[in-house]
Structure 1
């Protein structure tokens, strides 16, 4: 049996390698290039040209607008020129000038570069006609609901120019920002070039990629063309970034003697330091001292109608670069390492004294190391957080196996250690097998390594495609003592089966539809303690994507919940223990996002435990010009239990106003109201970013009470207020 498996994987690996696209050797630079967007220097005459083809709406057809992409390089930089001709230049959309803006309301051009050529992760560099810079990472071969990380930034430059013939862009990307591995004097990378024509909802691409995997097909590193560079060598830049922070924090403290709230002012005067050093061309060391994240935007306010914790994304820059190395997913949002466990408690910041991080590749191994120390706060001791991650390819370029160790150790002697193994194996074509095995070792636990109690295990078999018959089947078991202290796990002590059967269609070029899929979702959670069902759901759905960029769909679901104890939605509404079967339906629609206005509407309604609920979500974005963008969302929750005369109503409106003076200077106001907590949260950020690594932030945060007089003593008008100024400057050595 073992011999058969080895033979099978070797055979299919050979087949996959045989499918490798032809390599393109990029031309070396002869002459000088002035970065002004015009690409009219003679140095571009000998550049490598990429053949571009339409990706959507009519895959494989000739683009409706002429597109030329040229590449050339020297020992320090990769230069890219994009000549984006347009038959009607008056219709070119430039909706933003803000750093890292990325939405389909604007014309865009960019490249996705798999610099390690691992066919799973990539670095992306995009611009719009306004000349903004947007960079982000792509992870997990773009196989996720939102498989990019826009919080990642690096050093590079771009210039654009709009004329009566179209718009034009020139990129200059340092090889030191890419990280790469040299083999026999050559460096191979994966590359995708992508143009987006907003008014037509049309993307033009190199190389040709089928849209079998949906919108993110055009970002898949595994489908990138292979480009080769000769004569580029290891550079070891050193970046030193000190920061200064000053400001005022005001909080309201309750005085029991006078039965009132009194303001407490604290003046902030901080300094810190970040250091980035390239140990090799593909191994980077980051050091941080007195780490601060004052400039990070506030989290979105969310309403929780479940008995489980909410998941919030990581926004802090220090944790962003090559963060996919630390990805150890254990199903859904569950993961072995969740960086928000470091320096945040219930969303509130905890001082980080400092730490170190090393990421990159050593020979065939992806390597990740992280160690950070936090301050004591209230009853939580000062803690050390450590992560070690190793991973390498197995059988073929699309499979890997790895391991991770996390440790969380308090100065009071408490500790939580988790160690695990994972593998993603491309069995054949679009069929993938994922395996996870993790164990917990911590104080006050039995720590029996041969027991299932501290163990988590998972098996997932899926076909990653939206065309034809597809499936996603998973099995997971979490033991009673499994506790990922640096991770995220919504449930404990369960066995789960799921997930989906799907059949998808990619209609002909004459159809109004780009793609549509019918599916059946289902899952069941069993209690390990007695084998009874804790939760289950099943239901069909259908999703539609139109060539205009519009979306629509619906889903029906039957739910079963067995509660051993009640849980509260609010002080006035609760769900009692018991067994419940209830049904709901969801519909959604979204307008084409290639215009100046975009909207998304979703509605869920049906029975809910022993009552019923309705949930409405509305999102809208209006790009009035490249200087001003308005976006808003509104969420409405209504839950009623008529037999018990209880109800829960919540409103969460959000408004974000972005004004961009130019590509370096912007101001953002983000206001949100949550009726469930009777509060308004206001976040104002003014940013001046003349170049990468040089930032000046002015930040104003305030938390208001909206229902003050229902309490005794009367609540203060403002719970907290902060006005902060932060300046960072990066020295390159």
Structure 2
């Protein structure tokens, strides 16, 4: 063990002080320009494909990464003045139909037979793009950040076709150079291909990737070698106007019907081939889906991810600064409940080593809330260091314009300003075995000069068998991030983690092993306030089903009054101490079956010497690829002393997804939340009549469950069109 620890420490020190040669540098695919017309139809009949070089002999990634793949895949690429072209021929290894969820874009990778390609146009092994499709033709596109994380919310213009044959399916695509960002003059891009085949439960890649990492990991790309530099994009300007009409009525308050007639636009300007300026005037975000409801028994604010298109390109340079619960910037703080007047974002690469992000947004005044006009300014700068690591700087300024709080106690008071400044170091070793981050933040607000500093750091080591991690955080009690997500302040957190995997040579179980983790919270005088320590054991089956069991010990010393039912009843007092044990089991079925299910059971103690039983499950059936039906249920049974007594909370959510084609989708779902006493019904029709251009119809109802009387309802019709100049 001592020898292994010394080896790990030595490897870590070498990885952060040297820029090692690219791991898969010997994998090369040469690409040549074509002058003949290309038709995207899945037939592979063009002359350019006959002469193009072929990538083949993929390596298995899962279930094991020690051999070539069983499924055969061949890939070719070419380009012309406007587009990058790719064709992938995905052969079947065993008979039977393909496995897909639906025709909806940005599908779940693990639940679909699919082919994806990833490229890194700057060869920084950190940022890139991904495109692909499942075997039925549903598209996938996203931005890669932090070396191997995907943001599928990004959406842009490109075309593809999938054609199925008895022994194979063929994916053919054209990606305009104006859609992606790349460095002018570079003739070598990072490149990899990924194939997921659920019939054989095999995931494979062209350039080999260790099984513990996703195939999107840019540390393991091969090379796309151009015969000449990619053609310049020229003027790259896109205008995306929208027209919206809608009506809504609040029946609970008995208000009149409110009619909406709006028009606005986004403008995207390519300053260079790698730097983009986004402008928006009177934006609307009606296409954003309703957030999935949860039973909230937490003491702190819940997190819901950003989905709005304007904020998504290069979103990581703004929003990934910090940690899950220490985020100085969170774009959902801007404009979801307050109208935005205008905004601008400049983001992208200055060169191979430097990235920049500058954002300025301004919201309108809201008289009934006494809310003034507010301006949100953000600047982020990132510098690559060593082989894949980086140093980042962030500045945030939220400013209320011409605002002075009045002395009326009935009038809501808003802050005059809130500022944050921070620096962080992101570690990513050449092979991605070592990852980590170190962060320092300080906030500035009126009448605050105390403990306004935040510091956090983590270090993780991951290989095929071992998982070792350490994280600690300190958030000062006076630290304020009004444009961020920091649910608690005034604490010190320590979080070690250790895991190990055993691999079985035969049988239904592929791997299994324990994971131990502790999370301790201390106050600023180093006195314990919370902890959770658990020991879990995880089973991974060869058919990709999983089974996890866990036992945990919890302790909480309340820092403020808390209602353990979150129902508006009495609260437990500040300073009261609570201990309990609990266990849980979770099973997720194989994704290749038409009928899928998952089940989660938790039972044990709770606050005030009470007990909590939680049962959650999801049942799904698909008539692939057109219809998917799911039923999600969550049941919580709380047994507490008076005044709470026995409380039960049901959360039920049936959903139906109909994908008529890979461009026309219909979704309808309901959500019954017993805790909030609300029934929500939502339907959404989306027609993507041209790439990145949509027509939406969204209808929403909210009801009181006792008598099914209407709370409020709304109908929105929206039309967007993407012009490229």
Determine which structure has the larger strand proportion and give its number.
1
1:670-681 equivalent positions in 2, closer than 5 A: 670-681=669-680
User: What are the superposed Cα offsets for residues 319-375 of structure 1, whole Å, 9 maximum, x if unpaired?
Assistant: 11221122344333431111110112xxxx321111001110002211111111112
Tell me the CA shift for residue 583 of structure 1: 0.8
| Secondary structure of residue in 2 paired with 1:325 | helix
Q: Structure 1 residues 193 and 501, CA, compared in 2 at 3 Å: closer, same or farther? A: same
* Partner residue, 1:405: 395
Q: Which of the numbers 60, 67, 71 marks the counterpart of 1:61?
A: 67
| Secondary structure of residue in 2 paired with 1:17 | coil
- State the alpha-carbon separation in 1 of the partners of residues 167 and 724 from structure 2: 39
- State the alpha-carbon separation in 2 of the partners of residues 554 and 487 from structure 1: 34
| Secondary structure of residue in 1 paired with 2:199 | helix
Aligned residues of 2:252 and 2:710 also touching (Cα < 8 A): no
* Alignment partner of 1:293 is 2:285: yes
Q: Structure 1 residues 522 and 88, CA, compared in 2 at 3 Å: closer, same or farther? A: closer
- State the alpha-carbon separation in 2 of the partners of residues 517 and 114 from structure 1: 34
* Partner residue, 2:701: 702
User: What are the superposed Cα offsets for residues 281-339 of structure 1, whole Å, 9 maximum, x if unpaired?
Assistant: 00011100001011111001112212111111111111112211223443334311111
Unpaired runs of 5+ residues, structure 1, are 255-261, 709-715
Tell me the CA shift for residue 23 of structure 1: 5.5
Q: Structure 1 residues 487 and 595, CA, compared in 2 at 3 Å: closer, same or farther? A: same
Aligned residues of 1:554 and 1:588 also touching (Cα < 8 A): yes
Tell me the CA shift for residue 140 of structure 1: 2.6
* Partner residue, 1:167: 169
- State the alpha-carbon separation in 1 of the partners of residues 345 and 20 from structure 2: 35
Aligned residues of 1:105 and 1:595 also touching (Cα < 8 A): no
1:50-449 equivalent positions in 2, closer than 5 A: 50-51=55-56, 52-86=58-92, 90-142=96-148, 147-182=149-184, 185-213=185-213, 217-229=214-226, 230-235=228-233, 236-252=235-251, 254=253, 262-344=254-336, 349-363=337-351, 364-377=353-366, 378-396=369-387, 398-411=388-401, 412=403, 414-426=416-428, 430-446=433-449
Tell me the CA shift for residue 118 of structure 1: 2.5
| Secondary structure of residue in 2 paired with 1:332 | coil
Aligned residues of 2:101 and 2:107 also touching (Cα < 8 A): no
* Partner residue, 2:539: 544
- State the alpha-carbon separation in 2 of the partners of residues 670 and 597 from structure 1: 19
* Partner residue, 2:472: 475
Q: Which of the numbers 20, 23, 39 marks the counterpart of 1:16?
A: 20
State how many pairs are aligned.
692
Aligned residues of 1:471 and 1:501 also touching (Cα < 8 A): yes
Q: Structure 1 residues 652 and 89, CA, compared in 2 at 3 Å: closer, same or farther? A: same
Tell me the CA shift for residue 640 of structure 1: 1.0
Tell me the CA shift for residue 506 of structure 1: 4.2
TM-score under structure 2 length normalisation: 0.91
Higher mean Cα deviation, 77-86 or 92-101?
92-101
- State the alpha-carbon separation in 2 of the partners of residues 616 and 13 from structure 1: 49
Tell me the CA shift for residue 80 of structure 1: 0.9
Tell me the CA shift for residue 209 of structure 1: 0.9
Aligned residues of 1:193 and 1:205 also touching (Cα < 8 A): yes
- State the alpha-carbon separation in 2 of the partners of residues 503 and 662 from structure 1: 44
Unpaired runs of 5+ residues, structure 2, are 1-8, 405-415
Q: Structure 1 residues 576 and 89, CA, compared in 2 at 3 Å: closer, same or farther? A: same
* Alignment partner of 1:38 is 2:38: no
- State the alpha-carbon separation in 2 of the partners of residues 592 and 253 from structure 1: 45
Tell me the CA shift for residue 511 of structure 1: 5.0
Q: Structure 1 residues 592 and 8, CA, compared in 2 at 3 Å: closer, same or farther? A: closer
- State the alpha-carbon separation in 2 of the partners of residues 13 and 564 from structure 1: 43
* Partner residue, 2:412: none
Higher mean Cα deviation, 287-296 or 68-77?
68-77
Aligned residues of 1:89 and 1:163 also touching (Cα < 8 A): no
Tell me the CA shift for residue 277 of structure 1: 0.9
* Partner residue, 2:410: none
- State the alpha-carbon separation in 1 of the partners of residues 261 and 12 from structure 2: 63
Q: Which of the numbers 487, 492, 498 marks the counterpart of 2:495?
A: 498
- State the alpha-carbon separation in 1 of the partners of residues 262 and 216 from structure 2: 40
Tell me the CA shift for residue 645 of structure 1: 5.8
| Secondary structure of residue in 1 paired with 2:147 | helix
* Partner residue, 1:516: 512
* Partner residue, 2:612: 613
Tell me the CA shift for residue 26 of structure 1: 2.6
